[in-house]
Structure 1
Amino acid sequence: MVKDIVFFDIETVGSECSQGRIVQLSALRVREGLIHESCCYSYQPIDSEEPGRQDYSHRNIDFTNDNWLAKHRQEIINFMSEAVLVGHEAHLFLTILQRELNLHFLQPFWDTSELARIFFPTLHHYQLDFLAEKLSLPLRKEEEQLLIEEKTWLTWKLYEACWEKGLKFDLSFFNQANGFIAEWTGKGFFEDLQREIIRTFPERPIRTDLVLSPSSEGLFSVEKSFTVRIPDSTDWVVENFAPGGNLEQNIPSYESRSGQMKMAKLIAKGFSSSQHVVVEAGTGTGKSFAYLIPSLWSAKKTGHKVVVATHTIPLQEQLQKKDIPILEAVLPFPFKASVLKGKSNYFCIKKWQGCLGNRENVGMQQKLAVLTILVWVRETLTGDFQELSKVPGLMELWPNINADNDMCIPGRCSKAGVCFLLRARKKAEESDVLIVNHSLLFSDLKTDYNVLPEYHYLVLDEAHQIYQTALQHLGSELCLENVTRAVDSIYRSTGLSFYSSTKQRLGSLENLVPSVPWEIFNKRLDGIPENSVSVLKQTKELFDLLSLILGSERTFRFIAQHTTRQWWEGLNVQIENLTGRIKALLSILDSLASVLSEDDADEVEDLKYAISSHQRELQEYVETLKLAINLNNPKQVTWLEQSSRLFLKTSPIDVSDTLREKIFSRLNSVIMTSATLSISDSFEHFLQDIGLPRSTITAQVDSPFDYEQQMQLIIVKNGIRLLDSKGQKAPELADFIAEVAERMHGRTLVLFTSHAMLRQTYEYLNPLLVRTKIQSLAQGIQGERSSLLEAFKRNPRSVLLGANSFWEGIDIPGDTLSCVIVVKLPFWPPTLPLIEARSEYLKSQGKDPFRELLLPEAVIRFKQGFGRLIRSKEDRGIVILLDDRVIEKYYGRFFLGSLPIKTHVRGENKLVFRKIEEYTSHLG
């Protein structure tokens, strides 16, 4: 490159960066890879004792009308003239800089945050300091410390890292990218890079085929050539965990734990004697190894696959990327383990090629996401969506390029040889242990075992979730958007659909397969447009009525008494009309299939497969509508639910029979484990829910952590629960959280049971925390779970407010999290449609819904929330419960009796604050 580049960074103060005022501007002018000159302008407060670099993070600066930077306007213009401007978040920085200098820079500018997202697509976070660490960017030289601000230097080095990686790309990368960069401010970077490659590497060939990462030698590494005898006795399994055993000898950080040995022994016994086993394993037990080693031993010994099903993606990733590689290194026999996910998680190469050829109607963010994938597809071995950073535009783009396509026949696809989904399925077939999630497990059950390869043994980790997952997957739902998508895939007036693509192919099909009466087929095909439009029109009418029925509520349950309401007859008519119109469209698809039934040519089989996929989806809608109108089944519930869209949902209210029939009766052995399965040392509720007898083998394995020494449980008496109105609760709660956070220096997680209360509390809390320089992070306000957790980890001087999804699956070891505040005992609202229906069903059986349903589920959730604090032997901290029902009500003993700590402190606010100060001073 011959042009100069100015790398720059600004520091602002103010509530929002985009509206903030600049307190520092630093810049670095680089010519032909060398520093040509640098500059740094800093705001100098009047009360400053010394000139030079200032720390503005804790200053409350009042600029009044002092636009100090404007005094350097001409110097800055001269410094930046005739150069490309490069910054990390350059769009934002330039907006602020141009506003304060009252000018508009005309030269090109490139944003290293965008470049990093493109060239390093799997890093997941793109803050400058994070990138510096992950990419090992070179540090400044000692003599340059005073001349160049750190962020400006790192911006330069990050730019160079992107440039160096880009130099290795084949020219087809740029040919494919060029169609997506015309309106992008970073276009010049790609053009310069392409010119440099042509100049420096004139012999580099231009690939015309699909460029993918070179695959490994095989789907699995080659097994050892000699035969290894697999030990017969379960004793071998247990000996691995013993003091001085295999794990202690080969894993430096490993310590033998009696609880882990006990758990592994029970699981090995369950496998070898074909029994089901339930184990509650406290935090820190090491349950992953405790079930993986018996699973691998059993699979190798019997030749029968073991499926391990987790609820959360993080645990799935941990097993695959951390635990399995360790065991590959230390176990005395080779094995095959793999992960299989749902189709929508895998990249589809065929759809990707179609995407590259369709550049119209694609927004700028999606175009940048295309560039990200262009890089990633050259590196990935799995095509797994979870590898990718969730860059802007990706979530909108991914449905168009993933493998979730009903018209796909993987084995017959022209890209079958490089298909990521086929590769994953082949690995799954050949695995000894296959890791899936609960969702895929139930998809397999729902399709009569057509998703997973055959297996006889199952480990259910995070098993406390299994009942809710079963309810979700064994139920059904309908929304306007999903019906529209399904019908659009059959017919749409513009764009690709089954109808349009089949019409285009008819001419060639007549020549290829003359035995089919294509004239009849074509005539029947012509019935699709009118019927498709009719289905969409009727669906919209139905959802307009459902919206009126729901009104301003978030949920509305249909019950038998509603049959006397004025709107009921209209609803029946709407549902009958929609059912009839869907059946009419199904009838056309049936008639098309019958024309093709006698022929088995490949082209005809493709059409049959596409037709059957559409039939299956439409038939599911018919079944949902049929269930929705039947209010006489006491084991079924139907309701409306408004979230991002309006859903009509149906669900069974008792899945124990289904679980018993489809899982426990069919498999040799099922192992269920979680940190939260028992209530006051009893597994009765869990066993009853999932349909297992009381005689099932159960065990509790205590955590190796010393809760009495590592933490303190504080229960606040006469807290916010006693306040009359919600309007009073939010400001009182905010005051309390702010007091705690100041004493804890942030490092606090607050768990809510209500999103509304969370939002109200945040409004009062945020200004209080700003005064003490503590950051507030609130679910649904600053972001969602993953982004908030990362922000919290980066800045421990924070308070994180979370609701439902934050009660479990969060792992923040160390002193980053030192305090958990539980606002209320996590009872489900009894008016939720599914809870209400389950309660009524229990009443009809002569049971108490509170004792049988609401209380047990609240205790399990409470244990999960409590477990967020102590994640390692080094962790220390405090859990504060603001709901004194736990000491005032008879049922409080079930909550306290289910915790691993047996002592607590109780008192009003003043005592609580004093205890916090005593505890934190004790921690030193």
Structure 2
Amino acid sequence: MQNKDIYAVVDLETTRTTAEEGRIIQVAIAFVQNKKIINQFSTLINPHSNIPRNITKLTGITNEMVHGAPAFEDVAITLHAMLAGTVFVAHNVNFDLPFLNLAFERAGLTALKNTAIDTVQLSQILWPTAPGYRLSDLTQYLGFDHERPHQADSDALATAELLIAILQRAATLPMVTLQSLVELPLALARDTKRIFQLALEENQAEPQLLPNQLQVIAGLAIRRFSKPAPLSNKDEYAYPTKKATLEKLLAPSLAYRPQQAKLMNLIYNHYHDLNDVTTPMVLEAPTGMGKTIGYLLPYAYLANEQSRAVVIATPTINLQQQIMHTINNDLNEVLPFEVRGVSLKGRTHFLNLQSFSRSLQVDEGSASLQFIKAQVLVWLTETLTGDLDDLNLNNASERFLKKLTQSANNPAASNFYGHEFWERQEVSAAQAQFLVVNHAYLATYARELTDEKKPFLVIDEAQRLPDAVIDQSRKKLDFDRWRANIQFAHNTALANHDDGLGSILERLNGGKNFQTQLEQTLQELQSDITELKSTIYRRFLLSNQTPPTDGKRESSVAVTDLAQYWFDHRDTVKNIHIQTLRLDDLLDNIMEAFSQLKGAFSLAERQLLADFRRLLNGISNAESQLTGFQQELVDFPDASVFWLTEITRQDENHVILSGGLLHTFDYFKSRIYPYFEPVTLIGATLFTSTKSSYLYDRLNIERKESETFRFGEVFDYENQAELIVANDAPSVNDSNYSSYLAKEIVELSTTVGENTLVLFTSHEMLQDVFSRVQSNPKFMKSNMTVLAQGISGGQQKLLKRMQKEQHLVVLGAASFWEGIDLPDQQVRLVLLARIPFEQPDNIVQKAEEAVLLAAGKQPFYQNTLPKAVIRLRQGVGRLIRTDQDYGVIVIFDSRIVNKRYGKTLQKMLPRTLPQVAVKSEQILQEVTEFFTKHRK
């Protein structure tokens, strides 16, 4: 392939997705030469068979449109001649080329044997952080016109533009990056890899200067990183307390909002004089109020005035990114002084350059892993952070990612010493006012976030922090996996063949002694852990006569009993700890001896040693889990829960000890709050009733000693929305409930024709309803498409489709109840399968109930119901996201109107939201009337 070559960019529309069963209904070609489109060809094709309804819905091509079009046989010779001698290009070439070749063979012509390349794979490598790789995703990302997606002429033209961008992008890559891409054993479709070879040949013929923003270290081209200049905010800036001043400050990029301004003033006035501040703030700020800017702006002034950092903790990494964007863009645009935000994450989020460099020389025998390396090579020329979350690494195994993030065997001797990405965030954080973390990071590193001056602390969506802490505290110790890893390490250490670890140890100073000590230590560990597993099984599981479910049986372990068990076996536990420390020391000594023999080992041997180091670290981490269980008993004896799981595998009983915090009633007082100024707790759905102490108890806040403020709703719910309850819906435990729900979903979605979100509390029910909706004859004849979480894709994939497509019914659970933003026509109908009570009868829930009963409290009203209230408020909140939205919420759970506690649920929903309870047969009419009114 050279510049004089002609690329024939082909797109087909077909009746089916398989070449054997399907027929072509449209073919289009855009010809590219010298990175310009030089010609186009397009024609409809009569397939002499009916076009399926779903294909017409997708492409817009009807039977009537192709009725007078030529048959493929009539244009086959012309097409074959046009394509002869060209480079065949398609967006998924392994679909279009075989499909077209089979059509040619049916017409009596030979199959094309052209050089062929695929723009999907090239796009995935060259734009590794793109939000998606469908043609419509890429045209939007790169800013191309794409007027009629899924019509061949428009798709071919868009793919031709994409090809030109691909050729240009490849040509701008540094020579060392191109060399690495060419040398990688990449298994790309057809001749796709030739694009990189062509770009390398062009670069070698006319070498390009390395751009100033890049540097080459040990064969890797990476973005330069410079220590950020100190913040230059030495002047004092008066906080805009008056409306006119704030309006002027925000204009023209941000609008003045009265409630938001009130929130700003509350925060600024509360923390302006820290000598008087002893109380935290609790602020419920509803969706649409602009709470993020509402707390960022006053805290920017406070940080500037007091030279004090602001730590912002938010539930998810996605929200971290959103807040970072708001700080570094929106906030900087309006403030008279500079603000900076830095996102802090744990080391395992960041690529290690030494480990990645080593991985380039190793072929794991996996096409997907080699493909990821190609993506990372290109990404290194773009990223300043090295944060692997920026990449779409859907096919990466956890083990491979751990390998890419592990530190070098001898970091100080690494070529990349001083350039590793995880260190950069610490450098940047020193010159930033805002440190943005997620809840889990805050729980782990609170002490390290403090400074000479205690930082401010804002906990966004504070109601989710206790669950994050509890989830993080939960530990799981798999005795059998621990033993298996020790056995594997033992066998590895004794392997003396040429490519074994023993041959490496033999070359080290004192290597034979290392091998002997490893053997003894690992054998002793294996013996002690086997004893521990055996005794814990006899003590707690042997008498359990509960029948196993799916080969698994769980047993709760009382805190006092477990404490006694650790005491009875303290010698064994102590010896495990001693042997693990000895193993750690051995590893340190081995690595020190290894680092002294520079250049004595091959790349494969270095990787083998790195893998062995990771294996020993895993053994040590398991011992840390054991220590963690004991520490929980010391630190939080009344707030912890433990249980054993027995899994029957052939002739062996597999034993797992699990446990951790049960609640957070005393956690934050000792572990987080002491390191910060009095906290600001903020969120859209904090409270579960006007009197409930649920939030205060879980977050260790004294109600009387906090400044609490609940802002009123921003949206005009009376005119924007309606909530309908089916007061005759069958019980959710009824065997016919799934059938009932599927029928209602079909009736409503096909009549309304708008994007619909259905929220479930059970994945099992979700899957059952999905199957029923998908096979419903009325639904199949409609223009609606049903998608299900875990079946059609994960949350992010489904959300992207809802943001870009219409006529979708999306079934979601868990994460779909909160934290997703689908304004305007992205969702008009929200259906709740049931009130979101937690699934009962698990060990943890029973333990929670026992704690509350012992304290003289009612578990349902002081735990189960408050959790359901918060989740229900979050689910209802998925509908109205802007003041232009409108839509309907339907709840198919009659308990909200028929049970006594239903009034509590209803009262906590938006005050002006119209609520009606009708029979199921009346819901469709009620919904239809609502949409008829609003569409006018």
Q: How does 1:646-795 map to 2 (within 5 A)?
A: 648-682=657-691, 684-695=693-704, 696-721=706-731, 724-725=734-735, 728-768=736-776, 769-795=779-805
SS of the residue corresponding to residue 10 of structure 2 reads strand
Residues 288, 319 of structure 1: 8 Å contact kept: yes
CA 175–249 in structure 1, closer or farther in 2 if over 3 Å, else same: same
Task: Note the alpha carbon deviations across 1:823-870, whole angstroms, 9 max, x for none.
Answer: 100000221222221012211222111011100000000001111111
SS of the residue corresponding to residue 307 of structure 1 reads strand
One of 824, 834, 841 as aligned partner of 2:851: 841
SS of the residue corresponding to residue 860 of structure 1 reads helix
1:625, distance to aligned residue in structure 2 (A)? 6.6
CA 629–842 in structure 1, closer or farther in 2 if over 3 Å, else same: closer
Residues 821, 881 of structure 1: 8 Å contact kept: yes
- Per the alignment, residue 381 of structure 2 pairs with 378
Indicate yes or no: 2:883 matched with 1:882: no
CA 348–774 in structure 1, closer or farther in 2 if over 3 Å, else same: same
The 10-residue stretch of structure 1 (5-14 or 373-382) with the greater mean CA deviation from structure 2: 5-14
- Per the alignment, residue 822 of structure 2 pairs with 812
Indicate yes or no: 2:201 matched with 1:190: no
CA 80–602 in structure 1, closer or farther in 2 if over 3 Å, else same: closer
Task: Note the alpha carbon deviations across 1:796-828, whole angstroms, 9 max, x for none.
Answer: 210110011100011011122111111100000
- Per the alignment, residue 434 of structure 2 pairs with 433
Residues 494, 519 of structure 2: 8 Å contact kept: no
- Per the alignment, residue 552 of structure 1 pairs with 549
Indicate yes or no: 2:364 matched with 1:364: no
One of 867, 871, 887 as aligned partner of 1:861: 871
Residues 491, 532 of structure 1: 8 Å contact kept: no
Q: How does 1:65-214 map to 2 (within 5 A)?
A: 69=72, 75-98=78-101, 105-137=112-144, 149-181=153-185, 183-184=187-188, 185=190, 186-201=192-207, 209-214=218-223
- Per the alignment, residue 514 of structure 1 pairs with none
1:3, distance to aligned residue in structure 2 (A)? 3.7
CA distance in 2, matches of 1:258, 1:783: 41
- Per the alignment, residue 527 of structure 1 pairs with 520
Task: Note the alpha carbon deviations across 1:271-298, whole angstroms, 9 max, x for none.
Answer: 3314211111111121112221232223
CA distance in 1, matches of 2:293, 2:316: 17
1:626, distance to aligned residue in structure 2 (A)? 5.9
- Per the alignment, residue 268 of structure 2 pairs with 268
CA 690–38 in structure 1, closer or farther in 2 if over 3 Å, else same: closer
The 10-residue stretch of structure 1 (415-424 or 53-62) with the greater mean CA deviation from structure 2: 53-62
CA 332–60 in structure 1, closer or farther in 2 if over 3 Å, else same: closer
Indicate yes or no: 2:833 matched with 1:823: yes
1:204, distance to aligned residue in structure 2 (A)? 7.9
Counterpart residue identity of residue 26, structure 1: A
CA 504–771 in structure 1, closer or farther in 2 if over 3 Å, else same: same
Residues 124, 390 of structure 1: 8 Å contact kept: no
Gaps of 5+ in 1: 511-516
1:79, distance to aligned residue in structure 2 (A)? 3.8
CA distance in 2, matches of 1:74, 1:160: 28
1:871, distance to aligned residue in structure 2 (A)? 0.8
- Per the alignment, residue 460 of structure 1 pairs with 459
Counterpart residue identity of residue 6, structure 2: D
The 10-residue stretch of structure 1 (423-432 or 303-312) with the greater mean CA deviation from structure 2: 423-432
- Per the alignment, residue 329 of structure 1 pairs with 333
1:200, distance to aligned residue in structure 2 (A)? 3.9
1:665, distance to aligned residue in structure 2 (A)? 4.2
Task: Note the alpha carbon deviations across 1:205-241, whole angstroms, 9 max, x for none.
Answer: 996744444435x4334544x730255xxxx3x62xx
One of 307, 311, 315 as aligned partner of 2:315: 311
CA 36–61 in structure 1, closer or farther in 2 if over 3 Å, else same: same
- Relative to the length of structure 2, the TM-score reads 0.83
The percent of aligned pairs where both chains have the same amino acid is 22
One of 891, 894, 902 as aligned partner of 2:901: 891
- Per the alignment, residue 27 of structure 1 pairs with 29
Residues 284, 710 of structure 2: 8 Å contact kept: yes
- Per the alignment, residue 905 of structure 1 pairs with 916
- Per the alignment, residue 7 of structure 1 pairs with 9
Counterpart residue identity of residue 825, structure 2: D
SS of the residue corresponding to residue 699 of structure 1 reads strand
CA distance in 1, matches of 2:70, 2:217: 56
Counterpart residue identity of residue 788, structure 1: L
The 10-residue stretch of structure 1 (202-211 or 657-666) with the greater mean CA deviation from structure 2: 202-211
CA 479–7 in structure 1, closer or farther in 2 if over 3 Å, else same: farther
CA 291–736 in structure 1, closer or farther in 2 if over 3 Å, else same: same
Indicate yes or no: 2:44 matched with 1:42: yes
1:649, distance to aligned residue in structure 2 (A)? 2.2
The 10-residue stretch of structure 1 (388-397 or 179-188) with the greater mean CA deviation from structure 2: 388-397
CA 767–667 in structure 1, closer or farther in 2 if over 3 Å, else same: same
CA distance in 2, matches of 1:222, 1:676: 38
Residues 257, 285 of structure 1: 8 Å contact kept: yes
- Per the alignment, residue 513 of structure 1 pairs with none
Indicate yes or no: 2:404 matched with 1:401: yes
- Per the alignment, residue 602 of structure 2 pairs with none
Residues 502, 515 of structure 2: 8 Å contact kept: no
1:720, distance to aligned residue in structure 2 (A)? 3.4
Residues 491, 528 of structure 1: 8 Å contact kept: no
CA 291–408 in structure 1, closer or farther in 2 if over 3 Å, else same: farther
Residues 506, 518 of structure 1: 8 Å contact kept: yes
1:362, distance to aligned residue in structure 2 (A)? 3.7
Counterpart residue identity of residue 472, structure 1: D
CA 877–857 in structure 1, closer or farther in 2 if over 3 Å, else same: same
CA distance in 1, matches of 2:438, 2:858: 33
SS of the residue corresponding to residue 656 of structure 1 reads coil
Counterpart residue identity of residue 904, structure 1: Q
CA 540–783 in structure 1, closer or farther in 2 if over 3 Å, else same: farther
CA distance in 1, matches of 2:528, 2:11: 56
CA distance in 2, matches of 1:202, 1:11: 41
Residues 19, 96 of structure 1: 8 Å contact kept: no
Counterpart residue identity of residue 420, structure 1: F
CA distance in 1, matches of 2:528, 2:100: 54
Residues 776, 798 of structure 1: 8 Å contact kept: yes
- Per the alignment, residue 492 of structure 2 pairs with 493
The 10-residue stretch of structure 1 (150-159 or 383-392) with the greater mean CA deviation from structure 2: 383-392
Counterpart residue identity of residue 760, structure 1: D
1:914, distance to aligned residue in structure 2 (A)? 1.1
Counterpart residue identity of residue 316, structure 1: Q
CA distance in 2, matches of 1:87, 1:659: 56
SS of the residue corresponding to residue 714 of structure 1 reads strand
Task: Note the alpha carbon deviations across 1:357-391, whole angstroms, 9 max, x for none.
Answer: 21x22411221221111111011111112322335
Indicate yes or no: 2:245 matched with 1:245: yes
- Per the alignment, residue 582 of structure 2 pairs with 588
Residues 13, 23 of structure 1: 8 Å contact kept: yes
Task: Note the alpha carbon deviations across 1:498-551, whole angstroms, 9 max, x for none.
Answer: x9889847867x5xxxxxx88866642443564677799899999999999894
- Relative to the length of structure 1, the TM-score reads 0.84
Task: Note the alpha carbon deviations across 1:140-177, whole angstroms, 9 max, x for none.
Answer: 9xxx99x9811111111111101111111222112211
